[in-house]
Structures are given as C-alpha cells and as structure tokens.
A and B are shown apart, each in its own frame.
Chain A
Amino acid sequence: MTTMDSRLQELVERDRSHECQGFGQDHVCVRVVAVAKLPSRFGDFRIVAFWNNRDQKDHIAIVHGDVVGAEDVPVRVHSECLTGDVIGSLRCDCRDQLETALQKIGQMERGVVLYLRQEGRGIGLANKIRAYALQDQGMDTVEANLALGFRDDERDYAIAAHMLQSLGIGSVHLMTNNPAKVQQLEQYGINVSRRLPHLLPPNPHNRFYLETKAQRSGHFIDFTGLPRLQEQSDPVIIEGMPE
C-alpha cells in the first residue's frame, strides 16, 4: 500500500467514532466509511464513501493524487443528476460538467470531485421529472420549481465543507463559475485560496451555447427547443463563449 492509500485508510479508522456538532442549519455530520481504488477512463482515482447523519444517501469523494493534508487542492462539487450523469440527458449539462471535472483533475497532480447524492433535495427523482413534465407543457414557474424541491445549496455546501474537512484538505481551488459558492464554502471554515472557472470544451451537444444569445435570466434554448437547465446551480460556460 502506498502512503497515499494508507493515509486515506486511516481516515476510516479515525472516523469510526466521529461525532461533531455538524455543519449548517441541519447539523450535518459525515464520516469516511470506505476507501478503494477506482481506475477510470478519466484517470487513476480513489473513491471515498461517506456516511451522514441526515439521510440514507452515501455521498462520495472521487480523489486523485495525495490530498490528505495538502494545500490548494482543486475541488469540484457535483450534485447527482441521474438523467444527465448516467443517461446523458440533454436537458442539462451535468454530464459534461462531471466528465470535464474528472478529466481535468485526472490530469492534475491532485484533486477531488465531491459527488453529492441528493437529487431534488432528497425528495427524489420523481419531482425532477415532474418539473420536466411541467416544462413540456410550457409551464416553467419559479414557484412550482421551488415547491418541487430544486436544489438546496445551503445544505449541499454544508455537506461538502464537512467532507473536505474530513479528507484533511487544508485549502482548495474551487472549480466553479459561481463566485457565490466560494463564500458558501468559506462560511463553513474551508479556505478557498482560488476559484478556477469551470469551462466545458465545445461539443455537438452544447454548440448552441456559442451560437445563441441567452434568453431572459440566462435561459438557453437548445436545438430541441427546450430550455437547457442549470442543474448544478453553476452557469454553463463553454470555451470560447463570451462570459
């Protein structure tokens, strides 16, 4: 076992009896419960499973290189999106965002993708599909989407902060296009030494971003005539697109 692997394994041992006040309004507490190798098409990773005291969702850190005790670690926080991440849905850009993050981090010295398992604020996938169904009927109201349970950033970032702390990461370079995320993480005591814009390479599926002007409030209508959703609460920026 390499020192890097043993350092990660020690976190499991350390966290067996971990209990703390918790982060955020919900007092979320997490524990590192399992670590394994995860070679992937995007590079050589370790996968770290977390337990949390709030729900039955196993949040995950996908780690590249030696991050325990390291400074300036590139970090991307990704929220689960089954339709995008797995099925390759074109109603959002989640898959491109995830793949780009893994690709970039896989080529760096070190880095972490936090993969948060809380589609639709823990209410589940059904309400996201209901939101799509409303859109299909031409109804896209803020009130309906909020009621359906669109992402609760406060909680996402409380969990993310605790996970980074559990991994022993000293400071992070946060990969995001949303500067507000930097403050959200810092508010939980995470030292964000830099923000790295998260630019996606152009591909046939996101080409329209370069060709069309955004509609009101940053809504983009894609080739299918449907609005492309920003499910990662992070504006999509394609390389070559004016910011």
Chain B
Amino acid sequence: MRQEVIVIGGGIAGLQCARELHQAGREVLVLERARGVGGRLATRRYEGQPIDFGPMFIHGQNPAFLKAVKGTEGVIFPSAWPRYLQGHGQPCQPNAFEGEEQRAILPAGLNAFAKDLAADLKVQLQTTVTQVTPDAEGFALTTEAGQTFLCRDLVVALALEETLALLATMPVQPELVGIQALLGMFASVPSLTLLAAYPREVPAPEWDILYPDQSASLQLISQDSRKRESPEFITLVIQGRPGWSAQRMALPNEVWAAELLKLAAEQVGAWVNQPLWTSPHRWRYARVDRGNELSRPILTTFDNGLRLGLAGDVFSPGGGVQAAWLSGSALAHRLLNEVRL
C-alpha cells in the first residue's frame, strides 16, 4: 500500500505528528502494534472502571500542549491535586510539581487524550513493522503479518530502544550511522507495574499518590479510584523503581507481582494483600530520566529525497507526555516546512 507519510507508533508523539500533518492536508497512515492508540499513556478497565497504569497524570507548562490537553472532553485540572501527597519521595519527573507546571487528569482515563488526538486519523491497529528498507521508490515496510507498505516520508515514534531496533533492520546508510551513535548514548528506564482492585469497604487512605521516600523498590502507589467519579472499587497502581524493576525483568510476572503487592501493603496496610483482582504490566521502556533528553526531533534526508523523522519522549526536553507531544509537533513542523534536499 502506497502512502505519502507513514507514522510507526500510535503513542502521543506519533499521533500528534500525524495529526498536524493530516491537518496540513497530508495523507498519513499510523501503524500501531497494540489494540489501541496511546502507547504508554495507558488506561485499562476493571469491571468498567478505568485505571491509568502508565503516567498517573498529565503535566506540563507549554501553552500549545496545555491547549491540546484542555481540548479533551472531561479533562480536569484539579487545583490542589494530588490532594494528599504523602511521603517525600520523588515523582518520576522531578519537575512535575514545580512552579508553572499544571496537572491534568481524566475521569474517563488518561488514554482518552490519545483517542482524541487520533479521532480524525487513519490508524491501522495490531500492526507491527518488522523491517524497513529504503529503495528508489520509498521506504518499504514489512509487517509481522507479511503486509507491505511504501512511503516517501517515514516517521518512527517508538520508545528509544524500539526505534533503534527498527533502524537496525535497515541496510547501513551513512545518514544513519551518526544518528544511531547519537541515540546509542541514551537509554530508557523500566518500571514493573501492578494494578490491583479492592472492594469499596477497605480502609482506603486519604491520599491520591504516595511517593515512598525511603523505599529502594517502590516508585509510587497511585490510588487510581480517587480520580474517578463514584468508583465501584478502590484501585491501586503500584510502580517499581527502575533499578529494582531492571533486576526483575526476566522473572515470571507472578514473582515480582507478589513482591510489589507485599511492598505496597507495608506502606499502606495489610488489606492491600487481599485484592479482588490484579494485573501485572512490564514497562520495559517506561520513560527517559532527566538529563537523558535531546532538544528536538531528528529529520534526515536520504540521497534520493526520502525523509526519515524520529520523534518521542527522548526528543524534547523534560521527558514525559508533554515532551512526546512537543517532539511530534516539532517533527510535523519540520516535515512541512523544510525543503526536501
């Protein structure tokens, strides 16, 4: 299938890039591996009740980004949220609670922001690109299911390591060597995450997010149900610290999940050990840490005029959802405004 632009990765960076290209009249197709868009801005449901298990909230200060977030139906910028911040541990992004940062939540789940961005876009889900080959006609993409695509402009908007893995499927190109060396100096950190649901009767604490200050294992515990209007269940999302998570990445889910639950019970109370339901999730490339970011997306033009753009949370300062969005936006701007060499 021939396309003008293909975006690999339907996370926030890819969606925003595709959206701006689409709005400028470009014909864009987004290829997404999962069953839904949003990437790490992830929400799932237990008995219909949304649970955010990637970021716990969206935060930022960039006016254009905040405007986009504010456009999502149902979004709330609670003035004093998280309402009770217990512990003195660090949030994943240390700047999340600084001066001009605004924090947003969505009662329908944070993933609704991604769905909103994707609303007018052509997105093909459950499509994993396994091979990229630039030739005279364009970038030829092959998917796991054996489908092929062709495009003149290709945007890769995956987690950093996944982007590198995809670039490695391409034949060696002088244009790519420097970029691969550059990206090779950066890395994402993992986070093992456990979702747990409890009956409403449990003695739920009076805080929204706990950042344990002394724990070498726990990054945070989010009482997700406090983001919902009249929740049926008390729900917790427990996220492990990067170092702790990295050590357990190869273990079976039930091993580290039991460990996370026990650690959370030590912080919150014994009732945490008795969930109605749990669900583990491995964020192998959860986020980039501060100091591990580039200032802008990459756009490189091959000899025959094909253009390869890279966006994602590593391609803008600050990391997180805002950085992903800004990098996608910046890349679209460059694709639309830079003259093809």
Contact = CB atoms under 8 A, between A and B. Distances in A.
B297 interface: yes
Contacts of B292: 126
Interface stretch (A2-10, A137-145, A228-236): A137-145
Interface stretch (A36-44, A93-101, A127-135, A198-206): A127-135
Given A130-B185, A133-B185, A144 B179 contact: yes
B19 interface: no
Contacts of A148: 182, 294-295
Contact of A126 (B177, B291, B299, B300): B291
Interface string A144-178: 10111100000000000000000000000000000
B317 A122 contact: yes
Contacts of A146: 295-296
B315 interface: yes
A110 to B, nearest CB: 36
Contacts, number: 54
B181 interface: yes
B294 A143 contact: no
A139 B299 CA distance: 17
Contacts of B178: 134, 139-141, 143-144
Interface residues of B, number: 18
Contacts of A121: 295, 317
Contacts of A144: 178-179, 181-182, 298
Chain B CB within 10 Å — which of A122, A127, A134 has the most? A127
B315 A147 contact: yes
B298 A124 contact: no
B317 A123 contact: yes
B181 A134 contact: yes
Contact of B182 (A122, A123, A126, A130): A130
Interface in B146-185: 177-179, 181-182, 185
Nearest to A139: B178
Interface residues of A, number: 19
A7 B81 CA distance: 45
A227 B199 CA distance: 66
B317 to A, nearest CB: 5
A121 B315 CA distance: 14
Nearest to B299: A143
Nearest to B290: A124
Contact of B295 (A134, A139, A140, A149): A149
A123 B317 CA distance: 7
B297 A147 contact: yes
B293 interface: yes
Nearest to B296: A147
B182 A134 contact: yes
Nearest to B174: A141
A104 to B, nearest CB: 33
Interface in B285-310: 291-300
A147 B291 contact: no
A137 B181 contact: yes
Given A122-B317, A123-B317, A147 B181 contact: no
Nearest to A125: B291
Contacts of B294: 123, 127, 147-149
Contacts of B315: 147
Which of B177, B185, B297 has the most C-beta atoms of chain A within 10 angstroms of its own C-beta?
A: B185
A123 B296 contact: no
Contacts of B295: 121, 123, 127, 146-149
B317 A139 contact: no
B291 A124 contact: yes
Nearest 4 A/B pairs, CB to CB:
A149-B295, A141-B178, A139-B178, A144-B182
19 contacts: A121-B295, A126-B291, A127-B294, A134-B178, A134-B181, A134-B182, A137-B181, A139-B178, A139-B181, A141-B179, A143-B178, A143-B299, A146-B296, A147-B295, A148-B182, A148-B295, A149-B294, A149-B296, A149-B317
